[in-house]
């Protein structure tokens, strides 16, 4: 009985580890104009070039993101008026990407970040 319980516990822990590690989105909640906004930064590596990554900021709420200053962690920055940016890394490594977004023309700021591993 003890061995069976240990086996079930091991299986439960393994399943939890597998499913929780699949989610690689960092989320943050920001209070903006009396509205709690959930923000997250997603990264999608290109299927044809492992050093090319598309980043996307998503958010809840009715207010619009009007601009984002992207810091890709390798010394490169860019500004977009949309919520998506694509970046080509020159070298493999781990980079911390930050996206400082302005909501309603700067009335609020969101700053999601994410660590990405480039092969």
Band (pLDDT 50/70/90 cuts) for residue 5 is: very low
pTM of the model: 0.74
The percentage of the chain sitting over the pLDDT mark of 90, rounded to a whole number, equals 57
Q: Is the pLDDT of residue 27 over 90?
A: no
Beta pairing, strands 93-103 & 113-118: antiparallel
Residue owning tokens 């709690």: 36
Which residue, among 48, 26, 17, has the nearest Cα to 96 in the 3D structure? Answer: 26
Residues 28-42 pLDDT 10s: 787 887 788 889 999
- 57 forms beta bridges with 41
Residues 51-87 pLDDT 10s: 999 999 998 888 889 999 999 999 999 999 999 999 9
pLDDT at 15: 33
Residue 55 backbone dihedrals phi, psi, to 5 degrees? -110, 145
pLDDT at 25: 56
């Amino acid at each position: 009985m003890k061995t069976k319980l240990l086996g079930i516990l091991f299986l439960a822990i393994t399943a939890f580890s597998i499913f929780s590690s699949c989610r690689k989105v960092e989320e943050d909640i920001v209070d903006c104009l009396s509205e709690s906004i959930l923000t997250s930064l997603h990264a999608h590596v290109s299927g044809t070039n492992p050093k090319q990554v598309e980043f996307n900021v998503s958010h809840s709420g009715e207010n619009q993101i009007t601009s984002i200053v992207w810091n890709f962690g390798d010394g490169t920055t860019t500004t977009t008026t949309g919520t998506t940016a694509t970046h080509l890394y020159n070298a493999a490594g781990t980079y911390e990407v930050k996206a400082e977004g302005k909501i309603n023309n700067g009335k609020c700021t969101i700053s999601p970040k994410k660590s990405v591993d480039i092969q």
